[in-house]
Structure 1
Amino acid sequence: MEQNLENLHKTGQELRETNPSEAMLYLERAFNLARTVKNNEAEVEILFDSGVAKHNLSLHTEAISDFKKALSYRELCKAPHLKANILRCLAVQYIRNNEIEEAIKYLYESEKVSLECGYEENLHMVESTLGSIYIQLKMFTKALEHEQRSLEIARKMNDEQMISYSYLGIGSCYYLLGDPVSAEDFLLRASVGSQTKYTHANTSYYLSKIYFDKKEYESSAKYALEGYNVSVENHIYDYKALCRGMLGAISLAAGKYDEAIEYMLEAIEISESLENKRIYFNLYKDLIKAYDITGNYKAKSEAYEKLYNYHTEYLENQSKLKIKQLNTEYHIEKANDLAEIERLKNVELRNALENVNKLNKELEILNHEKNEFMAIAVHDLKNPLQNILSTSRMIKRSSGGNVEIISLSDNIVQQTDRMFNLIRKLLDHNIAEEGRIKIKKSEFKAESICRDVMNDYKEAAERKRLKLNFTNFCNGHSLNTDYEILYQILCNLVSNAIKFSPQDKNIYISLNSENGTFYYEIRDEGPGFSEEDQDRIYRKFSKLSAQPTMGESSTGLGLAIAKKLSSLINADLKLESTAGSGACFTVQISSN
């Protein structure tokens, strides 16, 4: 059923430009099927394509209904490009219905969405559509400004079809401004570039008008016929009527009155099905002129009678248009200001992101240099420390039982061991942070690693009279991971528990498993962690509120290393603690 839906929708999409009437049949079936299978994403896309097909049929009110339905779907939040297109196409329908303020509202919503998602192609169309609004308001200089902006975007994107569309818009503005030389230049550029069928029909119509005004009727007829044929083939009804009307005007100028009247009546018949009555009105004016030249006053009278209602409506609309020019210009400028704010915000955001990326690169370089320095420093410290350790042991052996010498040498050994421990921690952290640790998986008994850790820390626990307790709930279960890394994680956690536990307390190590996941738990009876401590516990070199209970050294690296190592073997390290009630660390790791 889903495949059938996809095929119906695809066929409708392919036909919406070339045969919109047939496309409607496929799209209606696809929409009903999408509803049956509850595919909301498909419903939105089909409604959009249906709206476009109805636009191509000049059924603008019906197209509005489809586009508004599409906007009501929540799925559009995940498809900003589609949403931007729907909003712009909705604005175009309102322009065709002469509802300018509604058009502006949806047009700037479309621009806002496009800016947010970086949809340059739609921004190009928004500028061009704003040009169309100003043309309708007879504010041709303003229209030209927007068409020129659309050309800038098209050139930036290096899109031939978009460039041709902008040339068309600029050419039509120059024609309406009374500059036929510039108009011809841009329209000819549009005609030789890559064009959509709609752009082709529109360009041909305007070139026909230019050559008609120059009284070059042969060239005018060539372009009018070209525009008419493209419109017929692709069901572009408004330009089918306009180009047929141009052929009528050319025949009238050539003295072929009967042919002229025939063309004009055909054009009027086509235009009667359109919602845009401006085309209808202009065609009737030419027809009346033809009847007047031929002396057919009866037909002229009938034509005047038909035109009367439209003429009254036209004059009323012209008066309203003057008022709308003022109101709409205010709304457009207000919307332009808001859009400019959005554009500036996006520019600021892009600049901020560029600065962040630049700083990140600088930090990466500094971090790499820091790691290199640390590796060199640690390496260079090891040899002199080893010499100090060896010398202190020789002094102790040759002390002859002198208590003071033995005490001093023991202190040297203790402090040197502390330095070695710090070096090991720095090396471990450096290797983990640079990602130089190679994972070596092996299979072993899950509890064996706990016994190894307890044996290694038995002496350290006894020095503080701490009792290590181990509870095993999964005897014999095997784990497949990097033994050394897991061992290092558990060592860091047990070492931390010993360091911060008061004397005569317990440390509990337990192992459990459930659904193929192992849980290593290390719980102590120490001071625990405050909420503030827990926010920064895994940060490098963090100094927390709790202090080691027997003056042990604390680098602030142990837990940071444990966290980093956990991520390397896909383990999850969690902490549960309340200040004054001990801490419980859990290492959660899958058996595979």
Structure 2
Amino acid sequence: MESNIHSLKAQLATATGSERISCLLELAKATTGIDTPRAQQYVTEALTLAQKQGTHVGKCYLYFGIIHMKLGEYAQSLNALIQALEHFDAEQDTTNAARTRMNIGLMFLERNELQNAEPYFLQSLEDARTINDENLASYVYLNLGVLADKKGDPEHALTYYQQALALKKKFSDWSAVAGIHLNIGIIQLARNQLEEACLTTQQAAAQFQQLGDLHSLGLAWNTLGEIRIRQGKFKEAETYIRKALEISQTTGVKSLEIDAYKHLVQLYQRQQDYQNAFECLEHLQQLNTKQFNLEMNQQIAELKTKYESEQKAREAEIYRQKNIELARLVQQLQELNREKTELMGIVSHDLKNPLTGIISAIKLLLQEEDKLTPDTRLRFMEGIQNNSEWMLKMITKLLDANQIDTGYLKVTPIYFDPDPLLQDILCNHQQRAKAKAITLQYNPPPTPLAVYADLEAFRHIADNLISNAIKYSHPERRVYVRLLERGHRIRLEVQDQGQGLTKDDRSKLFRKFQKLSAKPTGGEYSTGLGLSIVKKLVEIMNGQVWAESEGKNKGSTFIVELPRSGDGHAE
């Protein structure tokens, strides 16, 4: 076993991809029961790789299930095995699905949940027959035999054991053959078929001796000792029991020694040799005490190992979570740094240019007042007004964005009909649309609608979307504005025939300071803040906003949905 583990470790050092997963699973199989925490680590690494590569995931869960079963962690075992079964069923991997069902049955069998175990064994057997896997069938028959035996159904137990025996002989699995013979002998003993039990158990003992399986040989000799006691053949009984006792002392298997002394007590009592019976009983009590202490120490050691393993897992999870949080903070800082850079660009360019124009116009008005005609002075004044309004709009948007980001912006939802407000906003944009020969088309809803939203926030949202549609549309196009009822929602749609959205545009949409591929068509300014403010206002009011476009130069439609009632849901 150790040489096999060393060989697998050597393969693991250079293995990659699917080969590494297989190697890890083989190592887990080899180390389970020897170094179970290490086996769990192998399977954990295998599962991580399997999930990345999309292969062997079911096998990893199967191995997890088997390991947890060995540790007596039945809830975790069942969970892992069910996940394995789901993967194998999805992949139509009948062989591994049947193996997994057998292990689920075995897990229930170990928990003594016999009614739960049986359906899984029977389904596994049916699958094994379907795929003609006689090796798998032999294991299932054996487990069904144990199940029937535990249920107190010796007839079915013997039938299953005989079927398993035939297949195990076919595959030359002599260790299993010997074990089945011993199980049959024990059933025959329970049914008081003493001669048959003796012959069958002697056959098992001979096979165990030939295989060099001392532990199982000790079990067989103890059983033969009990058979001979019942037959009244006390000398042969003591010979068998003493042989079992020798094996227990050679192998250090205390359970064999305890069983041997139990049989000796029984033997001497039958012979009315009360002195030896008392001495054996006294020794048996000492053994039971030692065994109890040993089992307690083993349980403590296992619990300590389990605790240390879980502690390491918890520490690894804490470390992973800290890394995730750190990555999130780094990303947040990078985003804030990008926004700061964009803001500095706005201050240095978008605000500086109109401010420079204002200062230049004022200087000219002051220095050349007598030389300027009234029309020229009026034109300069209009330029100052336009630049000032633009700067005010820019600063207002920056302040709005900051209020939303810091949580200072509060909304007060009320019920109102959005139609009159929308008509007022469209009226305010008619002059800008007319200047670009753009038609604003809006058909009011046939019946009054009620939306649950903040009045000024709704105005800001609609104003921004309509303004953008005009800004990014070429002259002589149409902008369609619709107000619709959609179940428990009110929908606002603003559709243009403009420059559309590319795939890259969609990834940037609704983020601050983002410049999209579309450019204003009439020399208008764009801060890159409008849509991000729209999104945050909509979300504050429990709504949704998104855009649809078939691609570049195919127009786009911006859609806002807000709740009709104050239940907080915009489905």
TM-score by length of 2: 0.43
TM-score by length of 1: 0.42
